[in-house]
Amino acid sequence: MASDTTITAGALAASEKPGEGVWGFSRAQIIALGALVVFLAVAPFVLYPVFLMKLLCFALFACAFNLLIGYVGLLSFGHAAYFGMGGYLAGHAAKVWGLTPELSIIVGGATAAALGAVAGWIAIRRQGIYFAMITLALAQMVYFFCVQAPFTGGEDGIQAIPRGNLLGVLPLDRDMNMYWVVVAVFLGGFLLIHRIIHSPYGQVLKSIRENEPRATSLGYRTDDYKLMAFILSATLAGVAGATKSLVFGIATLTDVHWAMSGEVVLMTLVGGLGTVFGPLVGAAVIVTMQNYLAEMGAWVTVIQGVIFVACVIAFRRGIVGEIARLLKVKL
């Protein structure tokens, strides 16, 4: 009991004073969350709803990845496997099995959770670069499986995925209806991640990130904690991929390619590693560039590389991390 108190108190002291804010949100985070909700409510009347839905799907993906690297310290180069397989199984469930959209998203998330459980059980036995390379290797195995598996459609992917009717009642063919569903999925995932990292379990994860041998010496089975975090991260990544496949009506090999894993790393680092709102901002920056600079072709990748280098050299905490440092608040 004493060891639990010691390690939890240490993690709390490193993150936030107990009792500050509401439900684990600091005052600055409450203001940021309010601004986010207002933006989501107004944005579809100003911006293209499909663009916003894509942004939110990738934002949830980046937040899920940040849960693993930002709060546990595990760098995965294979998160595209869970994102892509979630999309494939959700698309297959909606198109072939005829499931409703909410059930299709659940199927995608459950598939990613099962895959994450297997991959995580194998990968967490190693640390550092070895962990990263194992996750990359497993993700490539998933990629080649998707190339060959009959239900994925190979290089053509699963096309014409129906959005269906939410709960069998609300038709999602209209972009505005689908937009509010995506907003609900994103906010649900976002708040779940926030609750996880501010729970006693989340405090132990932060302690493992800071000093795993110390956590082990205090009696914590760190591998179990890391495995659960890996599964939670994979599940939310699968939910993001499943939602994206319903939005665009297609699931392709692009979503399981290694480049997608690199893209989510870029989003997280640009926004701010280990911050609550950083992955959201990073996803917004990258997706916006891809959307509005698409006519520049391969130069988009060059611009992304320049931004990445600039962040590593000048803004090592990321956009949100630097803002939080300057304002001396927690975001």
* 9, part of any domain: no
Give percent above pLDDT 90 in the chain: 46
In this prediction, residue 280 carries a pLDDT of 93
The range of the structural domain enclosing residue 237 comes to 22-327
* 14, part of any domain: no
Instruction: Give per-residue pLDDT as tens, 227-279.
Output: 999 999 999 999 999 999 999 999 999 999 888 988 899 899 888 888 889 89
Distance CA 90, CA 114 (A): 14
DSSP strand pairing (158-159 vs 165-166): unpaired
Distance CA 53, CA 251 (A): 15
* 51, part of any domain: yes
Nearest Cα residue to 290 out of 246, 317, 260, 326: 260
* 111, part of any domain: yes
pTM for the structure as a whole? 0.88
List of E strands, 172-261? 250-251
Instruction: Give per-residue pLDDT as tens, 79-135.
Output: 999 999 999 999 999 999 989 999 999 999 999 999 999 999 999 888 888 899 999
Distance CA 105, CA 233 (A): 15
In this prediction, residue 323 carries a pLDDT of 84
* 166, part of any domain: yes
pLDDT over 90 (residue 191): yes
308 confidence band (pLDDT: 50, 70, 90): confident
Rg for the chain, CA atoms, rounded: 19
Calculate the average pLDDT of the chain: 86
In this prediction, residue 10 carries a pLDDT of 46
Residue type for position 216:
T
Angle, helix 222-248 to helix 49-69, in steps of 10 degrees: 170
* 4, part of any domain: no
The string over 166-176, giving b where at least 16 C-beta atoms fall within 10 Å of a residue's C-beta and e elsewhere, is: beeeeebeebe
**DSSP per residue, 27-46:** HHHHHHHHHHHHHHHHGGGT
Decide if 69 contacts 195 (C-beta within 8 A).
Answer: no
Specify the number of domains making up the chain: 1
* 1, part of any domain: no
pLDDT over 50 (residue 5): no
Residue 227 is part of a domain; what is its CATH number?
1.10.3470
Considering only 91-95, 112-116, 190-194, 218-222, which range has the smallest mean pLDDT?
218-222
In this prediction, residue 14 carries a pLDDT of 42
166 confidence band (pLDDT: 50, 70, 90): confident
Enumerate the β-bridge partners of residue 166. 170
* 115, part of any domain: yes
The single residue listed with the structure tokens 């409510």 is 41
